[in-house]
Each structure stands twice: as C-alpha cells, then as structure tokens.
Amino acid sequence: MNAKPRGRQFFNNPGPTNIPDRVLRAMDRPVLDFMSDEFLAIQHACHAGVKRVLKTDQTLYMYNASGHGAWEAALANLFSAGDTVLIVETGYFSQSWQEMAVNLGIKVETFAADWRKGADVTKLAERLAKDKAHEIKAVLTVHNETATGMVLPVAEIRRAMDETKHPALLLSEHQSPRSPASTTRWMPGASTSRWAAARRG
C-alpha cells in the first residue's frame, strides 16, 4: 500500500486536460429526455460548435463510444470480411487499428513508414496506381499519432488518391489534435473528430 498522500485525483483525457469542477457538477443530475426540446437545443448547439472547431459545413455524425468503439463501428459498417484495406503505418495507434481490422476478418495491407518521419506519399501513390482491380477498399490513416507525436499529411494522401483516380474510401482518425486544419479540403463528408470517412473518389 502506498502511504504517500496522492492529492486530488483527476480524470485526464488526451492532452491531458483536467475536467473542471463545474462540468463534473453539471453531470450530477438526471439525464434529459433525448426527444425533449431542451435536449434538442443542446444537441443542435453542440453540432454547430463542433462544425466551427472542425471548420466544416459538412454533415456531422456523432457516435457515442470510446475512440476504439468508433474505429470498430467504422470497420464493421463499411467493410465485409475478406475486403482489403490499406493502413498507413504511423505508430502504436495505426497498429491497434490494424489488429482490430484483422480480428473482424478484414484483409489488411500495411504501408510501412518511419514512425518519426511518416509515410512517403509518392510511394503510396505508386502503390495505389498498381491496384488496377481496385481491391483496396479504403486507405486508413491516423492524422496525429498520439504515441509518437507524428502528424500525417492527410491532405497529400487525399490528393494522391484523387490523382491516381483510386475509388477507395479515406478514413482518418483524429484523436489528439485539438482542431485539425479545415477537413473540408481533404475529407469531403468528414464526420466525427475521432474518425471520418470520405466519399468515394
């Protein structure tokens, strides 16, 4: 047993950021009816706020889960067992997403990259160009790798997909960036800050 006083315990989300007392106190009350006018007003205000943060006018899809829960929802709802996805290696979190896909029966091809420098987008474009049969159904990326601090140039990856005319979806995980640079430019149809799926082509 640790006899040393540890002081006040804080819950830290990625950042880390302490949750203010007023927020903790606000949660200590009955849940609102999700069909009530009061709840809907809060929901609409939250949607508008998130759009401002993400700098997008696109439709948002909110998913109530941990980050890994959103990953699983994206994989399970967009792909079938046996489909092939290409995941760009960035570090621990790209590995974790890869393992989840494999566990769901999805075939995963890893585009190897240096965890400190990131992917070579030119080589990635060459790989996509070789996929004449369009077996790759999606390119999975981690925008900012929390474990290494490496930021992936997702806009360049989107451009490479467009230039090679590859119809794969682009999925990008956004956990640790507070506010990614305008996603509208490279993620048409971007959804949540945890993961986003762009339209084909």
pLDDT, residue 120, reads 93
* Cβ atoms 113, 91 nearer than 8 A: no
Longest CA pairwise span in the chain (Å): 64
Distance CA 183, CA 196 (A): 9
- CATH architecture under which domain 67-197 falls: 3-Layer(aba) Sandwich (3.40)
| H-run or E-run covering 67 | helix 67-78
pLDDT of residue 115: 86
pLDDT score, position 190: 36
Predicted local confidence at residue 16, as pLDDT: 59
How wide is the angle at C-alpha 142 spanned by C-alphas 139 and 145, nearest 5°? 155
pLDDT of residue 189: 35
Residue ranges, comma separated, of all CATH 3.40.640.10 domains in the chain are 67-197
Query: What is the mean pLDDT, run by run of 10 residues, along the chain of 201 residues?
Result: 60 64 85 92 92 83 82 93 95 91 96 89 96 96 82 91 95 67 45 38 31
Give pLDDT tens digits for 169-182: 999 887 665 544 44
Please state the pTM of the whole predicted model. Answer: 0.73
Strands of the sheet with 169-173, listed across from one edge: 107-111, 84-88, 136-142, 169-173, 195-197
